[in-house]
Amino acid sequence: MIFSSLKNHLLIAMPALHDGVFDRTVIVVCEHNAEGAMGVVINRLVDINMSDALRAVDIQPSEEMIHRPVYWGGPIQPQHGFILHSPRGEWLSSLEVNDDLALTSSPDILEAIAQHEEPQRYLLALGYAGWGAQQLEAELQDNAWLHGPLDMAVIFDLPASERWQAAARLLGV
């Protein structure tokens, strides 16, 4: 079997996936190799806003941060924040997804956001989704997920509630 990475793709939960965790989710696959995969859920909001999240790490937010949502990125390390952003930029701890998108977990990007020096487009997710070796491939064989090309408009331009359907439409569903 030839390995084909899904890095830089969207995973779209199939309607039949009713596991209580990933129902109707869309995930940006940030890394996928022979050891496993990791990604960030981009269509589930949590009950805090960006202002709350910044205060939790002792960063003073600006007033408009109260209007920026925070996403549930997945069940792994939900106490940690991950910024999915474009353009990639130069941050202390970033994982390149593609030429224009990165996932950053270092506090320097949070400081930049508080100072209005943030990336052009970004979202803050708490936690991430992860799979061990061959686990994602098995779930794909079980028809738990569809996968398709990453689309920046789905990630950043649509309300969270519209992303699952929009991602499925990219595949003609």
C-alpha 170/C-alpha 151 separation (Å) is: 8
pLDDT tens for each residue of 111-120: 999 988 889 9
Q: So what's the architecture of 9-170 in CATH?
A: 3-Layer(aba) Sandwich (3.40)
15/24 Cα distance (integer angstroms) = 7
- Model pLDDT for residues 118-161, shown as the tens digit of each residue: 899 999 999 999 999 999 999 999 999 999 999 999 999 999 99
- pLDDT for position 3: 64
pLDDT at 120: 93
Query: pLDDT tens digit string along 19-74?
Result: 778 999 999 999 999 999 999 999 999 999 999 999 999 999 888 888 999 999 99
pTM of the model: 0.93
- Does residue 58 contact residue 74 with C-beta atoms inside 8 Å? no
Provide the residue ranges of all domains of the chain, joining segments of one domain with +.
9-170
Per-residue pLDDT, 173: 75
Q: How distant, in Å, are the alpha carbons of 35, 114, 155 from that of 168?
A: 27, 34, 13
Backbone angles phi, psi at 22, to 5 degrees: -110, 15
Q: What is the pLDDT of residue 151?
A: 95
Cβ-contact 25, 89 below 8 angstroms:
no
